[in-house]
Amino acid sequence: MEKQEPFWKFQLVPDIFVDYNEIANRIPGLKVGTQPNLGIVDQIYGDTDAFTEWLEQDKTPWERLTSYVRRLNVRSPKNVSYKILYLTRHGHGVHNEYRDKVGKGNWDDYWARLDGDGTTYWVDAQLTDTGIQQARELGKFWTTVALEQKIPLPETIYTSPLQRCLHTTKIMFSTALKDSGRRIAPMVKEGLRERLTGHTCDKRSTLTQINQLYPRYLVEDGFPEEDRLWSPFTFETTEQHVARKQQVLEDIFSRDPNEVIALTIHAYAIGAIVRACGGEEGFIVREGSTIALLVRGERPPLGRYEAMYY
């Protein structure tokens, strides 16, 4: 993939959510699960006047945060935008299960490059029963805890085109969106795929197959019928992967005016997004888990000539 200079600069806004790296350091394997109340820090934000602060004392932490983000966006220059991101790692997949069975070394060196073992197949790996249950637990979170704590449902949902993410998204959000009077219509984005290697679990299905299985999903413009990214000889470096996630964030921040965004993606993809936002990639999100971030995006202000055309 051709290297492009970043147009937007992204930063994680600190002290809004718990420190995931700190949590990971206390957990074997550095795997972080969904935190209580999505890890929000209960606080009154310092940009409020005395009257607003008095009004917000009785609000939930999430009500205060959404009000804060709204104020930030109203007061910021046009080239600055703030968004709450829910990053969800797909539920446990067939490939995860088989890797655990044969061991990481045997998986990486041999099995991951095959389609299967003759009985189990992991090309564009599906969810296991465990992964389906994990997605159901996330769905229960959005219909119970989120409702009680006034955690806003995502205004836009994006998903990797790999089957384990498409399925997780459907299970996780269908009921909550239906209860709120909305239908599920996630946007499938090619750039949200996992880091590219020769592992067949990361080779995606065709566009026709995706449309047949998920007819209500939207697909970004230019999405090709066949997988043009995966190859048995491709190995994306960490820097290349971060650059790909940078491009996805730039597209979302440029085109999507909504303030609360959900992305259903993969372990290394979450790490790449954190790095694209200037954070430390010192943790792994557990399968079927969600973390939340507040991200500030800034693009160069348009010149007088460019502004005439926007």
Active site residues: 90, 194
Strand partners, 177: none
CA atoms of 43 and 132, how far apart (whole Å): 35
**E strand residue ranges, 203-253:** 218-219
Which residue has 């929000």 as its token pair?
Answer: 40
* CA distances (Å), origin 84, targets 13, 59, 67, 193, 257: 10, 18, 12, 20, 12
CA atoms of 178 and 24, how far apart (whole Å): 34
* CA distances (Å), origin 306, targets 2, 228, 251, 310: 25, 34, 18, 7
Task: Enter the DSSP assignment of 272.
Answer: H
